[in-house]
């Protein structure tokens, strides 16, 4: 049996996470995959219940589970300067060493997109680099020695570079095109990006059946806009990945179509790329695609790391069901050109799983 936590987050998280869990439950039932679901209050609900956005014992409990589903966090609206109002996401990422961010992007024939026939998978390292909120053991990686100057520290290690490269090549080996593109700027950042590039090359030598190339980040950004179909699996550092994955989301239709999983070697967290969208919270129009497909990615990760073939089958059912609902077009939320509610779209995906899986 798998044990998975449900962390709804804020605003539309309380609407899209239930749809994700509904669909995951349906897929698990269809393949007889036993899951013990554990709802846990965090963010505003956690603060209301226990006086902290990450209530005492949360981290210790999550460490005993196989993974969890995390909704978007409305941290921008949290009170400033109050240590009880922490953003749970970077805390989880740093505390559990969730170094690998898997983000797939695909276009659909009947949904508006800049290009068609896009099928990309980004692997972004998320615990070091220029993202100074979590790249040091103690302290903050940004400071001002004078009132007129600011300095930020970039941290790059062989270990994390090797681990994210290994994750990328292992993922690419399971994809039809079997191609990895390493994106960096070692022409300028000779030590940091140079170290990252060196580790990618070393890992590439262990995967002779996977095509490997390197592209400088600004060139890659241009080519991604012009012809994204030339790429397959992309591995890159934290800040580059943060920017490029939003660019990729724009190519396929927006952040509502951008799922993700953050993973260590032993734990994984399903989390959509988009924010908590307080402007539409409570209206029942939020697109559940990214959250549902993040659940699908969590099943895929569990299938590999827990050697659980039923999880792989459940992931396949979700993929097929979502594709069927999008192709049919009648139960899509307004941002996808339809008029269905968040719940109605989730119900449609769950029904499609039930039809295919039983």
pLDDT of residue 137: 77
The pLDDT tens digits of the residues spanning 64-113 come to 999 999 999 999 899 988 999 999 998 999 899 999 999 999 999 999 99
Q: Residue 358 pLDDT > 60, yes or no?
A: no
| Cross-sheet strand order for the sheet of 100-106 | 35-39, 2-7, 67-70, 268-270, 261-263, 100-106, 119-125, 233-236, 179-184, 211-216
The two tokens of residue 35 are 């899951």
Q: Provide the CATH number for the domain around residue 183.
A: 3.40.718.10
pLDDT of residue 136: 79
- Alpha carbon dihedral 205, 208, 213, 214, in 10-degree steps, equals -10
Q: Contact 300/315 with Cβ under 8 angstroms?
A: yes
- Residue 24 covered by a domain: yes
Residues 121 and 240 in one domain: yes
How high does pLDDT run on average in the chain? Answer: 95
DSSP class per residue in 194-251: HHHHHHHHHHHTT-TTSEEEEEEHHHHHHHHHH-GGG--EEEE-HHHHHHHHHHHHHH
Average pLDDT (195-222) is 98
Its domain, for residue 333, covers 1-98+281-358
CA–CA gap between residue 34 and residue 12 (Å, rounded): 28
Question: Domain total for the chain?
Answer: 2
CA–CA gap between residue 77 and residue 9 (Å, rounded): 13
- Residue 276 covered by a domain: no
The pLDDT tens digits of the residues spanning 275-324 come to 999 999 999 999 999 999 999 999 999 999 888 999 999 999 999 999 99
The pLDDT tens digits of the residues spanning 121-179 come to 999 999 998 877 777 777 788 889 999 999 988 999 999 999 999 999 999 999 999 99
CA–CA gap between residue 281 and residue 279 (Å, rounded): 6
Please report which confidence band the pLDDT of residue 356 belongs to, taking 50, 70 and 90 as the band edges: low
Place of tokens 């009947």: 110
Q: Is 335 helix (H, G, I), strand (E, B) or coil?
A: helix
Residues 247 and 302 in one domain: no
Q: Contact 25/295 with Cβ under 8 angstroms?
A: no
The pLDDT tens digits of the residues spanning 40-65 come to 999 999 999 999 999 999 999 999 99
**Residue 1, CB-side half-sphere exposure with 13 Å CA sphere:** 7
- Residue 267 covered by a domain: no
Q: Residue 39 pLDDT > 70, yes or no?
A: yes
Q: C-alpha angle with apex 247: 110 to 67, nearest 5 degrees?
A: 85
Average pLDDT (206-222) is 98
């Amino acid at each position: 049996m798998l044990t998975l936590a449900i962390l709804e987050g804020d605003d539309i998280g309380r609407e899209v996470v239930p749809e994700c869990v509904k669909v995951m439950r349906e897929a698990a039932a269809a393949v007889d995959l036993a899951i013990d679901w554990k709802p846990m209050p965090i963010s505003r609900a956690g603060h209301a219940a226990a006086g902290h956005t990450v209530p005492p014992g949360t981290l210790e409990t999550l460490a005993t589970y196989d993974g969890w589903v995390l909704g978007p966090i409305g941290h921008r609206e949290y009170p400033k300067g109050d240590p009880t109002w922490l953003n749970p996401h970077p805390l989880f990422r740093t505390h559990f060493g969730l170094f690998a961010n898997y983000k797939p992007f695909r276009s659909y024939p009947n949904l508006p997109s800049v290009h068609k026939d896009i099928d990309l998978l980004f692997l972004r390292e998320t615990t070091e680099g220029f993202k100074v909120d979590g790249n040091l053991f103690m302290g903050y990686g940004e400071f001002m020695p004078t009132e007129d100057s600011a300095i930020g520290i970039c941290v790059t290690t062989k270990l994390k570079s090797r681990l994210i490269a290994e994750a990328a090549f292992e993922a690419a080996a399971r994809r039809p095109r079997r191609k990895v593109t390493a994106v960096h700027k070692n022409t300028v950042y000779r030590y940091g990006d140079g170290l990252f590039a060196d580790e990618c090359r070393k890992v590439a030598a262990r995967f002779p059946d996977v095509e490997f190339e390197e592209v400088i980040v600004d060139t890659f950004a241009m080519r991604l806009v012009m012809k994204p179909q030339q790429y397959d699996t992309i591995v890159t550092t934290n800040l580059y990945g943060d920017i490029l994955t939003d660019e990729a989301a724009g190519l396929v239709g927006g952040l509502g179509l951008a799922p993700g999983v953050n993973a260590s070697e032993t734990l994984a967290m399903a989390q959509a790329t988009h924010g908590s969208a307080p402007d539409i919270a409570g209206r029942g129009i939020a697109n559940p695609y990214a959250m549902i497909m993040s659940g699908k990615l969590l099943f895929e990760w569990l299938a590999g790391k827990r050697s659980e073939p039923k999880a792989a089958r459940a992931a396949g059912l979700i993929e097929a069901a979502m594709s069927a609902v999008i192709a049919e077009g009648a139960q899509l939320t307004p941002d996808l050109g339809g008029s269905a509610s968040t719940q109605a779209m989730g119900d449609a995906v769950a029904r499609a799983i039930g039809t295919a899986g039983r």
